[in-house]
A and B are shown apart, each in its own frame.
Chain A
Amino acid sequence: MILLDRVTKLYANQERPALDEVSLEIEKGEFVFLVGPSGSGKSTFLRLVLREERPTKGQVWVAGKELNRLSNWKIPALRRQIGTVFQDFRLLPNKTVAENVAFALEVIGKPAAHIRKVVPEVLEVVGLEGKEERRPDELSGGEQQRVAIARAFVNRPILLIADEPTGNLDPGTSVGIMKLLDRINQLGTTVVMSTHDQAIVDQMRRRVIELEGGHVVRDQSRGVYGYAR
């Protein structure tokens, strides 16, 4: 699903690379935690996979495509296969829950009949039935994140990237979100999630990739957040 081959990313005006000769592979269907302190390269990794950045050196493969060789007009097709969820939800405040989810389909030109069918379905999957007409500011943080997950998942992506999805949520709510992401993973979508949430990582016992200073310092198949932190 994702393959990094000796990838180095050096941002302009920075001496130390954000990622330094990183090689790793994530298989289809895996659930992977990406941990590490701020500035360790987690976000850079996610941005490379989304092709928001290009590596300075090395190759990034996503869904069978080498992203350096992917021409600009093919990027949208790549991103349609990847769902994204962020710490700050990124919902449109002037649209309802259903409209926010539908927006993701409208802007890729899906027909209205298809949208009418799949939006209620995905809202049910994330547990928001009955709240279709609410606006984001009428929802709790956990519910807003569910809307964002619904939007990321509505197009049935093969890969879901979650950048600290529980970063703004209390522990109880976070558990619900993690159950949802786990369910999405069970449905066949590969999930890559960066997090600082120790309790969640320790509880889920999934593969953990730890980055520090641009290097992979740990890659455990049933890992915990870290030792003695």
Chain B
Amino acid sequence: MRANFVASEVSSGIRRNLTMTMAVIITVAVSLGLFGASMLVRAQVSTMKDFWYDKVEVSIFLCGKGSDTPSCAGGPVTGAQRDQIKADLDSLKPLVDSVYYESQAEAFARFQEQFKNSPIVDNVKPTALPESFRVKLSDPTKYDVVASAFAGRPGIEQVNDQRKILDKFFQLLGGLQLIALLIALSMLVVTVLLIANTMRVAAFSRRRETSIMRLVGASNFYIQLPFLLEAAVAAGIGAILAVVGLVFVKIIVIDQVLAQSFQFTAFVGWDAVLAIAPLMILVGVGLAAIAAFFTLRKYLRV
């Protein structure tokens, strides 16, 4: 194998086919960029799930003065009822990780803190907020166990799972990710077709060389290698551009814009980028190799 000979064949091939090679590079970059972005959204969703599921609680609101659900027909919760609920919750360990009782006064203080800039605070009296048990579960997905045990019980107005609210949000993000992934997939199909076509043009423009190579007994590998490398180089450059774009998104969009504006939640870290980047390069070069392989089999037979 003569490395410098192959290298000069590849570079002359790329120069001869420059516009097509550019098109391949850009298409690979865009489609892999989209692919990487959708992977990033997926990583973001999972980061947020970890972050938020760790914090979500099941809230068991107890009956207050104005409660009108059937389970509150007996008026505000009694001390005995409250103690019984607490005891029953404790008996659900280890599913119940911890139980925290929030009195009306504490609920009011938290409410004031959360809405301190809103005029709504002035209109709410401490007695309007229900007292509650904040229950933290060791496995947040087993919410139903708690709900079925406590919902509808006398003295309990409502059992709330914060996860349900989050899930809607995550569904939205998941949908966005799916759309990005679908666009990325269709772009990847376009990329494969473009690479196949580029190979076809390259094979045609070099038909004189390849016909001589065949006649003098060059092996298939030797004939096809310059084309394969051409495709791999173009796809590699495109993939690197896409990775640069991903890093750019992480630094500028996530770290400097989103993380600054939304400090209450966690964002994907560099570990996710590090995991996605090799995948992008692998997908890019792999696609190019597959496209080139099948095209060459068709156009460069012995």
Binds B, one of A11-19, A23-31, A107-115: A107-115
Taking the nearest CB of chain B, how far is it from the CB of A111, in angstroms?
A: 8
Cβ of B213 within 8 Å of any chain A Cβ, yes or no, is yes
B-contacting residues, A65-110, CB 8 Å: 72-73, 75-82, 84, 90, 92, 103-104, 106-109
Contact: A80 with B222, CB < 8 Å?
no
B-contacting residues, A124-177, CB 8 Å: 151-152, 155
How far is it, in angstroms, between the C-alpha of A82 and the C-alpha of B214 when the chains are bound?
A: 11
How many A-B pairs have beta carbons closer than 8 Å: the answer is: 58
Chain B residues touching A, majority SS: helix
Cβ of B212 within 8 Å of any chain A Cβ, yes or no, is yes
Residues in A whose Cβ lies below 8 Å from that of B209? 92, 103
Contact: A90 with B5, CB < 8 Å?
no
How far is it, in angstroms, between the C-alpha of A79 and the C-alpha of B213 when the chains are bound?
A: 10
Taking the nearest CB of chain A, how far is it from the CB of B294, in angstroms?
A: 17
Cβ of B165 within 8 Å of any chain A Cβ, yes or no, is no
Partner of B302, one of A75, A90, A107: A75
Residues in B whose Cβ lies below 8 Å from that of A151? 212, 216
Q: Which residue of A lies closest to B301 (CB)?
A: A72
How far is it, in angstroms, between the C-alpha of A111 and the C-alpha of B215 when the chains are bound?
A: 19
Contact: A76 with B208, CB < 8 Å?
no
Taking the nearest CB of chain B, how far is it from the CB of A102, in angstroms?
A: 9
The verdict on A92 contacting B302 (CB below 8 Å), with A104-B216, A107-B218, A109-B2 known, is: no
Residues in B whose Cβ lies below 8 Å from that of A152? 216
How far is it, in angstroms, between the C-alpha of A84 and the C-alpha of B212 when the chains are bound?
A: 9
Contact: A79 with B215, CB < 8 Å?
yes
Contact: B220 with A76, CB < 8 Å?
yes
Contact: A90 with B216, CB < 8 Å?
no
Q: Which residue of A lies closest to B4 (CB)?
A: A112
Contact: A104 with B222, CB < 8 Å?
no
The verdict on A76 contacting B215 (CB below 8 Å), with A92-B208, A106-B5, A109-B1 known, is: no
Extra pairs beyond A76-B220, A152-B216 (9, CB < 8 Å): A72-B302, A73-B219, A75-B302, A76-B218, A80-B216, A84-B216, A106-B2, A108-B219, A109-B222
Chain A to chain B contacts (Cβ below 8 Å), 27 pairs: A72-B220, A73-B220, A75-B302, A76-B217, A76-B218, A76-B219, A76-B220, A77-B217, A79-B214, A82-B217, A84-B215, A84-B216, A90-B208, A90-B211, A90-B215, A92-B208, A107-B213, A107-B216, A108-B216, A108-B217, A108-B218, A108-B219, A108-B222, A109-B222, A111-B2, A151-B216, A152-B216
